[in-house]
Amino acid sequence: MVARIKYPVGRAWIEVEAQSVKDAMRDLSEYAEVFGETVCGVCQSDKVTPEHRVAKGYDFYSMVCQSCGAKLDFGQTREGERLFAKRKDENGYEIGKAGWFQYQATQQGGGEF
């Protein structure tokens, strides 16, 4: 039996077709991980939009605040190509405010987060 489930996630309605409840939960949770981010973690604005860009042949995904320019980057799983919010750095320390950060240019031409 195939079930069609329509579920609110953030500001969107996500619709999935699933063979089982487990399949539906898996699919809905994947969308909720990304589209559940509706408020900027830095300035609390609700003017948050998804962003996709390609650099050097790699795809990058993030949510961007249109008010303050803060970003929440998403990583990608090796298997299944799922996205997940990057809230900690490679050393396990929290990035910015729950993963949201603002890029700060320095006088040397580089940048800090």
Q: What is the domain partition of the chain in residue ranges? A: 1-36, 39-113
Dmax (CA) of the chain: 61
Contacts of 87 (CB under 8 A, 6+ apart): 94, 95, 98, 99
Judge if pTM exceeds 0.95.
Answer: no
**pLDDT one digit per residue (tens) for the chain, 113 residues:** 789 999 999 888 999 999 999 999 999 999 999 999 999 999 999 999 999 999 999 999 999 999 999 999 999 998 878 999 999 998 999 999 999 999 876 655 555 55
Q: Is the torsion defined by CA of 29, 63, 48, 42 positive or negative?
A: positive
